Amino acid sequence: MAGNNSKIKALADKTYKALSIEFPDSTCSLDYDCPQNLAIRGILSAQCTDKRVNITAIDLFNRFPDMESIASADPEAVAETIKPCGLTASKTKSVMAFAGKMTGEWGGVIPNDVERLMEVPGIGKKIANLIVGEIYGTPAVVVDTHCKRVMKRIGITEYEDPAKVEKDIMKAFPEDQWISIGHLSVDLGRKYCTAKSPKCDECPLSSFCRKRI
């Protein structure tokens, strides 16, 4: 792909411009009331829709309104509350571990550090990037299922592995677009570039998308 670097960057530029016009108000689809609650929503979002996460998070924070109450809660009570988001056992462990870090080692401040965030069980690169990007504006690419799918179809990457997709996106798009291209990819994936039966005829990228041409 190195030999096509200039072509890929030109493709990325077209992509960003077209998506910015189509989705001028693109933003994170997880509700954001405070940094720690956004981070919890990020943990719950693994293999779950953001819509379901936002609904379930309301129940969770009504029952456990702060990190102290989550960290000291009965794990079964937390599990019962977040069950609609799936992967209940692992997410319960991760949510409570995150709350424990917040009330202990981190002193109530989420670190602006991907590696430190990934020390929490269940927080991988995607969620860590989401947290530092949304809370601190630190340039980071969130490669979810939508982003991975549309970037391969467009021609920005040829890979399925999220780590490799992330690297290709970082090479193709300037740093100040890394956060927003993630949001724009989600919008595109939901409205046009769906996993099944994509609406290529209506897509704003149809004139240059690799899948289309």
Give the span between the Cα atoms of 77 and 59, in whole angstroms: 12
* 3-state class (DSSP) for residue 67: helix
Residues 41 and 132 in one domain: yes
CATH number of the domain that residue 43 is part of:
1.10.340.30
* 3-state class (DSSP) for residue 9: helix
Tens of pLDDT, residue by residue, the chain (213 residues): 444 789 999 999 999 999 999 999 999 999 989 999 999 999 999 999 999 999 999 999 999 999 999 999 999 999 999 999 999 999 999 999 999 999 999 999 999 999 999 999 989 999 999 999 999 999 999 999 999 999 999 999 999 999 999 999 999 999 999 999 999 999 999 999 999 999 999 999 999 998 765
Residues 96 and 170 in one domain: no
Q: Examine the fold and report which residue of 90, 115, 136 is the final residue of a domain before the chain moves on.
A: 136
**Pair of tokens at residue 24:** 């001028």
Residues 98 and 178 in one domain: no
Confidence (pLDDT) at 85: 97
Confidence (pLDDT) at 3: 43
Provide DSSP, 148-192.
HHHHHHHTS----SHHHHHHHHHHHS-GGGHHHHHHHHHHHHHHT
For the chain, report the end-to-end CA distance as a whole number of angstroms: 19
